[in-house]
Structure formats: structure tokens, C-alpha cells
Structure 1
């Protein structure tokens, strides 16, 4: 296996990982930021206040983007399995 193939495969793997984790992490980040602004404006310093909205936002993103995320990981896995004989040779 040539170093270029290894680098290409690792690049594709990192790209898929970014596509899978990005929407979930971005929604948690935005939700946390909005709740923090709300807490700063109202001076409510309750630590559990951020938990439920973040869970609901992550759940909503997984429901809405779930089919796309599943398609991304399935396509990558199928491509990887079909290229195994070419990689091993």
C-alpha cells in the first residue's frame, strides 16, 4: 500500500467523522450559547437549565439529519469494503 493511498483513506475517514459529528456538536454549541446568553441576561445560574435544551436540540438534529448521516456512513463503509481487495494487493 502506497503512502498516498493511506493518506487518502485517512483523509476520507476524518472527513466522514467530521460530517457525522459536526451537526450534533454545532447544535449543542449553539444551544449552549443561547442558554448562556439567557442566563446572563436573567442572572439565573442554574446548571441543570442547559441540560434539557441541549438534549432536545441534539435529538432534533439526529431525527432531522439521521437519514443523511446514515447514508454518509453507509456509503463510506461500502466503498471501504469494496476497496479492501485493491488495498491488500
Structure 2
């Protein structure tokens, strides 16, 4: 009788252990899926940020080019008579 009870308890314990393992496996899988989703979102965000940066760089380049052209135009030397201050 005592031995039967012991065997029953052992069976229950094994079943419980198996259930726990299954649950843990499921939890692990869910966690991995969440991590993957996070990575995807991060990559998307990074892509967007890079796109924005590229746009900003292009704008900056264009602006600098324009400014350079303007400066070049301004720098033209004006011939002047001696003793007369230079005024553009």
C-alpha cells in the first residue's frame, strides 16, 4: 500500500516536471519571438534614421555648394584708384 502511494506520487511528480519543461520551452520560444520583433523594429528605425541623415547631408552639401558659389562671386576683385577705399 505504501509502495503504491509512493509510485503514484512519483508519477505525479514526473508529470508535473514534464509540464514545467513544456511551459518553459513555450516561454523561451515566445521570448525569442519578442526579441526578433524588437530587432526588426530596431533595424527599421535605424533605416529611417539613416535615410533622414542622408537627406540632411545632401541638403547640407547643396547649401554649402551654393554658399561657396556666392562667396566666389563676392570675392571678385575690383580695380580701384590709389588712395580710394575699396567698396563692393
Q: TM-score, normalised by structure 1?
A: 0.34
Q: Relative contact order (alpha carbons < 8 A, sep ≥ 6): 1 or 2 greater?
A: 1
- Greater per-residue helix proportion: 1
Q: TM-score, normalised by structure 2?
A: 0.35
